[in-house]
Structure 1
Amino acid sequence: MTPHQVFTVAVIGGATALLTPLVLAGLAAALYLAVARVVDIREARRERRRDLTTCNAIDALGTNQPDR
């Protein structure tokens, strides 16, 4: 191999060594944000269902007021 080819291979290897952790960190951050968003959405849905269940239970109690 010529010195130019060796240098090119070394540059490619160095760039790969530098970019790989950055790409992996970016993917990890994106995955974390996606999972956090799904968890937040599920928690909000669970809270709305709980509120709806409470409202339905209160509505089912009725009132003790006489009919007019």
Structure 2
Amino acid sequence: MQNLLMLTCGCLCAVAGSAHAAGYSPRVGEPHPDFVLPGIADGRPVSLSQFRGQKVLLVHFASW
């Protein structure tokens, strides 16, 4: 559970900046594009697609 939380936080940081720069605008009901981040515990790559079929919460947040 902690790894999933850390992955979610990492996703927030990675996607928040890159999604806007790439012109991506998320829509309700559309699948999120796959991305890869380094794992917290061992540094091995972890991708969003590894969680296919599981419930994953991605939070897109901006403070402006």
Answer whether TM exceeds 0.5 for this pair.
Answer: no
> Structure 1 or 2: larger strand share?
2
The structure with the larger Rg is 1
TM-score, structure 2 as length reference? 0.32
> Structure 1 or 2: larger helix share?
1
TM-score, structure 1 as length reference? 0.30
